[in-house]
Structure 1
Amino acid sequence: MKFIHTGDWHIGKLVHQIHMTEDQRFILQDFIRVVAEEKPHAIIIAGDIYDRSVPPVEAVELLDEVFSTILIELNTPIIAISGNHDSPDRLGFGSKILRNKGLYIEGKLTKNIKSVVLEDEFGPVNFHPIPYADPAIVRELMDDSTINNHDSAMKAIINQVKSDMNPGQRNVIIAHGFVIGGESLETSESERPLSIGGSEYIDVTAFMDFNYTALGHLHSPQKVAVDKIRYPGSLLKYSFSEARQKKSVTVVEMDKAGGTEIRKVSLTPKRDMRKIQGKLLQLTDPAIYKDTNIDDYVMVTLLDEGELLDAIGKLRGVYPNVLRLERSQLKGIRQTNGKMGSDYHRKSKLELFREFYEAMEGDSFKDDYKEILIDVLSDIEKEERGK
């Protein structure tokens, strides 16, 4: 059995007020190419298909185009669940009718998880899709007052799945959440917290009895404790904290005994998201940027000292998609401002200007400058007295 594990598409997402739909259309076409080349038995989408519960029209249209191509032209079944960004009711609409066409979408959690059974040359493989649900919903659904966090909620659901599961067959769990187990996992700024105070974490041991666990929620491709429990990561970079990540989908090949061979297949975006730093004249020098994709989404850290005139305008003249601009020296300025602010009323104008100058320039205020400033302040005071 070969299947492609993906998730966290976040169709309709805004990044720094930029609509990502065009970039998502491009990367999803590349995904379709991978599906056509790999010819899997199924596609697994582990939640967060949309970025918000009420997606924009263009996001719905894009998903319809992609699903239609995969189901009709490539004749490949899709098994998908809702994530914490999705609306369970909207995502699951028409799911009973669509099952006959090979589209298995579980939007809303039910007490009895209905498995999807697909066959290969070795027999059945049971896919158990668990849509995302808050612990309070699971507590009410299971009528279990001991469920008070994501870990206890997932364990109750897994126990329900196991009660109807045939352990002699191959079994795959599809879930969406923050699963931990041993080593620390790579997270990013674009992942919305599921809860406050650590109650979002799910212990990896809950999934050990399954041949493969297809997870969604974290945006970096990675395993959790063992190779058979994995996040595929998001299709695109959605924050600059993901700049170093290599985006991909996970191809899983399962043998007769349920053992898995896993590999990542990279995807090529229309625009990368990356960080650059240097002085303004360097970054706008053709010799520096000629071999790069200047249309990438970039975060710029300027290393110049002192004031700059229209830095963002000059940068966008070269890099049209500058989404974020920082000045490295401003970190020191913010620290100094905190120290200056508490007793500024006790300081003379000369002292205040000296501290401001040293914060801006990162250099000492020389005696020559002091004499000039004294003369300037004296002239200002004379003008004020004469009014």
Structure 2
Amino acid sequence: MKIVHTGDWHIGKLVHGIHMTEEQQYVLDKFIEFLKEEKPDVLIIAGDVYDRSIPPVEAVELLDEFLSNVLIDLGIKVMAIAGNHDSPDRLAFGSKILEKKGLYICGELKDKIEPIVFEDEYGKVNFYLIPYLEPAIIREKLKNDDIKTHDDAYKEVLNKIKLNINEDERNVLITHAYLGGGVEVETSESERPLSIGGSDIVSVDYFKDFDYVALGHIHKPQKVKYNHVRYAGSLMKYSFSEYNQKKSFTIVNIGNDGCDIQLEPIQVKRDMRKIKGELEQLISKDIYKDGNNEDYIMAILTDKGEVVDAIGKLRAVYPNVLRIEKESLERINEGERTSAGEDFVKKNTYELFKEFYENIVGQDLDEIEENILKETIGNIEREGRAQ
């Protein structure tokens, strides 16, 4: 059985105030051509289909057009789950009717987790769809007060699945989470933190017994400890921290004994890249003639003195310059990859507020105040995802 694994489309995304819908339209049009050639049996979208819980009209129309082509014209079955950016109810609207057309959407964890079963020449393939799990919601749903973290939630849910799983058949899990536990996963600025204080990390070892695990949430394509446990990565580059990532679709052929995995590069209309040098060098024809001037650009200027009208001069050559930095701001110390700006972006809401409080008040939060802050932020984030 041939599967194409994708995730983190973030349709309707804004990057530095620019709507990415046109770029996403281009990528999905090219993706349709690819699907026509590959003829997969199943397409997976592993969460964060939309970028916001209430997506703009253009985003909904774009997804509708794409799914119509895939389901009706190409006859490919599609499986999608809600990620932490999606509204579970909105994403899953009409899912019962749509299943008859081959579209299987899981917005919220079902009370009884039943696999979607397809067959090929080797027998059955069971697909388990597990959307993004919010620990507080799963604690209430399963009536288990011991569930405090994402790891707790996944451990409990997967234990329930494994009670009834048929190990003689091939089993595929689709979910949206931050896997770790003794392994390093490469992240980027554009991934919204799932929780505070590192409690979002889920042990990868819970997943090792599945034949393939299709993950969403992390934007760089990569395996997590095991070759068959993989993030497909995002549809496009959504921040300059991803500028050197090679985006791809993951093609998975599940045979009678294991799976073969290949990566297909994603074609984009405009890349997201960094250029570095003195202003006059960057706008000289010798520098820009071989590249795509329409790309989304972050310019790092190495000029020593004041630079006059840098944005105007750069945009005369690169119309889609989104960000300009002086080298001294881009890097604190020679050889370091982190900067004050990057450090700020990587902090979650709790860490930012805690740091702000301590700077203003001049003292640390006590344990009671920390718990109140964590609970308040958690409630606000859950309400935002539910809208």
TM-score interval, normalised by the smaller of the two chains: 0.7 to 0.9
For residues 89 and 106 of structure 1, the distance between their equivalents in structure 2, rounded to whole angstroms, comes to 9
Q: Does 1:174 align with 2:174?
A: yes
| Gap change, CA 1:329 and 1:169, over 3 Å in 2 | closer
Aligned equivalents of 2:46 and 2:92: distance in 1? Answer: 14
1:83: Cα distance to partner? 0.2
Does 2:272 correspond to 1:273?
yes
Could you tell me which residue of structure 1 aligns to residue 42 of structure 2?
A: 42
| Residue 246 of structure 1: aligned partner | 246
Give the 3-state SS of the residue equivalent to 1:157 in structure 2.
helix
Q: Deviations over 1:240-279 (max 9, x none)?
A: 000000000100001113x010010001100000000100
Contact 2:181 2:201 in 1 (8 A): no
| Aligned 8 A contact 2:7 2:46 in 1 | yes
CA distance in 2, matches of 1:19, 1:84: 20
Q: What residue identity is the alignment partner of 1:164?
A: N
1:6–1:233 Cα contact (<8 Å) kept: yes
Q: Deviations over 1:74-125 (max 9, x none)?
A: 1000011000000000000000111110000001112212311111111110
Contact 1:135/1:147, CA 8 A, preserved across alignment: yes
In structure 1, how many angstroms separate the alpha carbons of the residues matched to 2:163 and 2:96? 24
Q: Distance in 2 between matches of 1:182 and 1:269?
A: 34
Answer yes or no: is the 8 Å Cα contact 2:300–2:330 preserved in 1.
no
Deviation, structure 1 residue 215:
0.5
Instruction: State the number of aligned residues.
Output: 332
User: Which residue is equivalent to 1:310?
Assistant: 309
* 1:40–1:198 CA distance, 2 compared to 1 (3 A): same
Q: 1 CA distance for matches of 2:172 and 2:327?
A: 48
Structure 2 regions of 5+ residues with no counterpart? 333-387
Amino acid at match of 1:304: D
Mapped partners of 1:280, 1:134: distance in 2: 47
SS for the counterpart of 1:101 is coil
Q: Displacement, 1:183?
A: 3.1
Measured in 1, the distance between the counterparts of 2:156 and 2:69 equals: 37
The alpha carbon displacement at 1:182 in A equals: 3.4
* Distance change in 2, residues 1:331/1:266 (3 Å): closer
Measure the CA separation in 1 of the matches of 2:145 and 2:71: 41
Aligned to 2:282: 283
| TM-score normalised by structure 1 residue count | 0.84
**In 1: Cα distance, 2:128 partner to 2:113 partner:** 7
| In structure 1, distance between residues paired with 2:314 and 2:286 | 15
Aligned-residue offset at 1:235? 1.0
Secondary structure of the 1:293 match is: coil
Report the counterpart of residue 318 of structure 2 in structure 1.
319
Output the CA distance in 1 between the equivalents of 2:299 and 2:197.
Answer: 33
In the alignment, the residues of structure 2 paired with residue 332 and residue 45 of structure 1 have an alpha-carbon distance, to the nearest angstrom, of 36
In the alignment, the residues of structure 1 paired with residue 207 and residue 331 of structure 2 have an alpha-carbon distance, to the nearest angstrom, of 47
Does residue 188 (structure 1) correspond to residue 188 (structure 2)? The answer is yes
Counterpart for residue 128 of structure 2: 128
Q: Taking structure 1 as reference, are residues 194 and 316 closer, same or farther at Cα in structure 2, changes over 3 Å only?
A: same
Structure 1: distance between partners of 2:331 and 2:47: 42
Query: Following the alignment from structure 2 to structure 1, what is the Cα–Cα distance between the partners of residues 86 and 329?
Result: 39
Shift of 1:164: 2.4
Further displaced range: 83-92 or 158-167: 158-167
Which sections of structure 1, spanning at least 5 residues, go unmatched?
334-387
Rounded to whole Å, the distance in 1 between the matches of 2:166 and 2:74 is 30
Q: 1:184 to 1:287 in 2, by over 3 A?
A: same
Secondary structure of the residue aligned to 1:317 is helix
Match for residue 207 of structure 1? 207
CA contact 2:253–2:261 (8 Å) conserved in 1: yes
Match of 2:88 in 1: 88
Dislocated runs of 4+, deviation >4 Å: 330-333
For 1:190 and 1:331, locate their aligned partners in 2 and report how far apart those are by CA, in whole Å.
Answer: 18
By relative contact order (CA 8 Å, sep 6+), the higher-ranking structure is 2
Match of residue 355 from structure 1: none
Q: Which residue of 2 aligns with 1:382?
A: none
Distance 1:331 1:199, change over 3 A: closer
Question: 1:167: how far off?
Answer: 1.5
Deviations 1:123-180 (A, max 9, x none): 1100000011210011111111111000010111111111222121110000100001
Stretch moving more, 75-84 or 114-123: 114-123
Structure 1: which amino acid aligns with 2:148?
A: N
Structure-1 residue corresponding to 2:101: 101
CA distance in 1, matches of 2:79, 2:331: 51
Answer whether contact 1:181 1:224 (CA < 8 A) is retained.
Answer: no
Q: Given the alignment of the two structures, is residue 11 of structure 1 paired with residue 45 of structure 2, yes or no?
A: no
CA apart distance, 1:181: 4.1
Report the CA distance shift for 1:219/1:330 in structure 2 as closer, same or farther (over 3 A).
closer
**SS at 1:53's partner residue?**
coil
SS in 2 for 1:324: strand
Structure 2 equivalent of residue 144 of structure 1: 144
